[in-house]
Amino acid sequence: MEVMRPTLIRIGGRIYRKNHIQEKAHQHEEEEEAFYAGLGDGADEPCDAFVIEETERGYRCAFDVPSPLYKYIIGKKGETKKRLEMDTRTSISIPKPGAEGEIVITGQHRNGVISARTRIDVLVESFRKKQPFTHFLSFALNQPVIQEKFLQFKKEVLEKCSNDCGVSSSLFQNPAKLHMTIGTLVLLNEQEIQKAQELLQKCKEEFADAIAGGKPLTVEVAGIEYMNDDPAMMDILYAKVTMKDGSNQLQLIADRLMDRFVTSGLMLKEWDRVKLHATVMNTLFRKDPNADEQSNTTIGKFFKGRESFDGRNIMKLFENFYFGGVQLNSVFLSQRFSTDSSGYYATSGQLTFS
């Protein structure tokens, strides 16, 4: 089935096919080489997305790749880089580990340089997806009125449901970090962070201001729901976030932001629409109170090693719990594993639409 429906990788608005290969016994040790073996030769790829310079000795292509990804281009003992150079008849210069700079491909034949660049792009994009995310776009929902009602919710749940299997105070979100996530990003250097900041401002100019109408969005955080199918074995319980006037402004802004960031290559498309929610209880917090937002690819799935909780009574007693109404006027580029002076996530950038 994988041969009939191979993995598709989007790079710079273009889509590449990742060919299926037979797994090897030592897959983790030879991951880079195994992936590389599955790539086509790429010689006939169009190069409209590449800048290829003609030089006295042939052709040259220079481009940026974040330094944490160099090792995937080099491969174990340099084998991936050697094979790239041999198969495409090019020379590939990579900055020293930890040093940001351009990767430079040179060769006597233009198609060889194009092929090497295409292969590196596909290789980098594939392994980028395996990196833990570093940032996420968020609406902050930690206003005092929401925090106060959240703490009331926590108190009442523990008073009435603490005897239910798995229910404990360790499951609850830090009230100062209550938020709604639009999507997660892997930003591996300052240039990528700056690109995300600039894209946020473009989104403000292109559609956010117009959709918001120059005013804050008045939303309500009310009602709870769970991610998986069995309320007796919950991993994530969340509060629902809706526009007070019943409009779709919040959904529209969130979806448009996700689409723009996915198109730019900074974010992976995991759902057709953003799920408007704020996590209030999560079994990840049981082991790590500082555990941050999870990628949407894990939402609703069963995680081995996580101790689920029985949320049936919580749903029965608090299904329509009202956390409050607030006005939202900013989207934050939030840093994972961080805290600012207010207790919320440190911010690398923001979009303000009022």
pLDDT tens, residue by residue, 75-109 = 999 999 999 999 999 999 999 988 999 999 999 99
CB neighbourhood size of 232 (10 A): 13
Averaged pLDDT, 296-309 = 59
- The strand pairing partners of 220, in sequence order, are 242, 325
CB neighbourhood size of 25 (10 A): 6
**How far is C-alpha 153 from the geometric centre of its chain's CA atoms?**
29
Separation between Cα atoms, residue 206 and residue 249, nearest integer Å? 15
Using only C-alpha atoms, the chain has a radius of gyration, in whole angstroms, of: 24
| 285 half-sphere exposure, CB direction, 13 A CA radius | 22
What pLDDT does residue 269 have? 84
Strands (E), the chain: 7-11, 14-18, 53-55, 58-64, 90-93, 102-107, 135-140, 179-185, 217-226, 236-243, 277-282, 322-328, 330-335, 347-352
C-beta separation of 79 from 33 below 8 A: yes
What pLDDT does residue 270 have? 83
pLDDT per residue as tens digits for the range 227-272: 988 999 999 999 999 999 999 999 999 999 999 999 998 998 888 9
Entry field: residues in the chain = 354
Separation between Cα atoms, residue 172 and residue 340, nearest integer Å? 20
What pLDDT does residue 12 have? 53
C-beta separation of 61 from 105 below 8 A: yes
Q: List the structure tokens of 91.
A: 């020379």
Burial of 255 per CB tally in 10 Å (0-12, 13-18, 19+)? middle
pLDDT per residue as tens digits for the range 199-231: 999 999 999 999 999 899 999 999 999 998 899
Separation between Cα atoms, residue 9 and residue 70, nearest integer Å? 19
Q: What share of the chain is helix, strand, coil (3-state, %, to 5)?
A: 35, 25, 40
Sequence letter at residue 261: F
pLDDT per residue as tens digits for the range 275-299: 999 999 999 998 876 666 554 444 4
Is the dihedral angle over the CA atoms 282, 287, 292, 296 positive or is it negative? negative
Q: How far is CA 319 from CA 49, 114, 172, 225, 246, in A?
A: 51, 57, 16, 7, 19
Backbone angles phi and psi of 220, in degrees to 5: -120, 140
pTM: 0.81
C-beta separation of 36 from 80 below 8 A: yes
pLDDT per residue as tens digits for the range 175-197: 999 999 999 999 999 999 999 99
Is the dihedral angle over the CA atoms 238, 242, 248, 253 positive or is it negative? negative
Sequence letter at residue 209: D
What pLDDT does residue 158 have? 98
